[in-house]
Amino acid sequence: MSATVLTASALLLDMDGTLVNSDAVVERCWRRWALKHGLDPEAALKVVHGRQGYATMAVLLPDRPVEENYADNRVMLAEETADVDGVVPIGGAPAFMAAIAGLPHALVTSADSALATARMGAAALPMPAVRVTAEQVGASKPDPEGFLKGAAELGFGAADCIVFEDSEAGIAAGRAAGMRVVGVGPRAAALSPDAHVEDLTQIRVEAAEDGTIRLHIDKA
C-alpha cells in the first residue's frame, strides 16, 4: 500500500456520490421523469449526476423553454426531498467528517437546502456550518461559482482548496475554479482527478501544526 499526500488550507465537499450515496433515489426519480417525457432512462441517468435538475433537463430537452425546466425542477426537488429510502453514507464518510470537524471545510452541492438537510440527516452525517446550496448560485456545476463562493466564505484562495467530487460536472467545476480535485467513487475514476479513491476509507486526515490540512490518500 502506497500513499499520496495532498496539502490544503480548506476542503470543499460535494454531497451526492461523495459523502452520501443517494443513487437509489436519484435513479427512481429521474427514471420516472425520463419515461414521462419519452426519453431513454439509461441515457438520462448518464447526465444527471452533479448538476442541478433544471440544467440536466436543459441537456436532455434542449428545445424546451427554460421556465418549464425550472417548474419541473421544483417538483423534482420536492420528490427527492421526500424520498430518503436507501440514502446511506459513502464508505468512510462518518469517520472522515469527524476528522475534519474542527478544520476549514464547506459543503458545495447542487441540492437545495431542504434536500441537503434531508440527505445528510438520512445518512446521519453532520451538516457543515458553511454550505453553498442551489439557492446561493446563479449557475449550476460545471460552472465553478459554487466552489468559488465556498472558498471565499471560508476565507481562502482557490489554490489553497481541495475539492471532493464524484461526477463529471463537479470535477469540471472544481478544475474551472482552479482547485485540485480528489475524485470519489466509480464515476470519477475515468475523469483524471488529481487523486482518486473508491470511497473515503482510503483517506486519513492530519491537521498540521501550521494549520494546514494533510490528506494521506492510500492506493491499493
Res 220 pLDDT > 60: no
Place of cell 421556465: 67
The three-class DSSP label of residue 186 is helix
The crossing angle, in degrees rounded to 10, of helices 53-60 and 66-82 is: 130
Note the pLDDT of residue 47: 87
Q: What is the pLDDT of residue 152?
A: 98
> Rounded to two decimals, what is the model's pTM?
0.92
> Which residue is it, cell 450515496?
21
Band of the pLDDT at 197, cuts 50, 70, 90?
A: very high
Per-residue pLDDT, averaged over 156-170, amounts to 97
Confidence class for position 177, pLDDT limits 50, 70, 90: very high
- Give the cell for residue 183: 475524485
Q: What is the mean pLDDT of residues 48-71?
A: 92
Cα separation, 69 vs 17, in Å, equals 23
- Please say whether the beta carbons of 166 and 49 come within 8 A: yes
2 pLDDT more than 80 = no
DSSP alpha helix (H) spans, 37-65: 41-45, 53-60
3-state secondary structure of 71: helix
**Single-letter residue type at 151:** A
183 pLDDT band (50/70/90 cuts)?
very high
pLDDT value of position 63: 95
Q: For the residues 117-129, what does the mean pLDDT come to?
A: 98
Give the pLDDT confidence of 11-48 residue by residue, as tens digits.
999 999 999 999 999 999 999 999 999 999 998 998 88
- Beta-carbon contacts of residue 114 (< 8 Å; ≥ 6 apart): 77, 81
The pLDDT of residue 89: 98
Dist. CA 134–CA 80, nearest whole Å: 14
Cell of 75: 417538483
Q: Once rounded to an integer, what is the mean pLDDT over residues 201-216? A: 95
- pLDDT score, position 3: 83
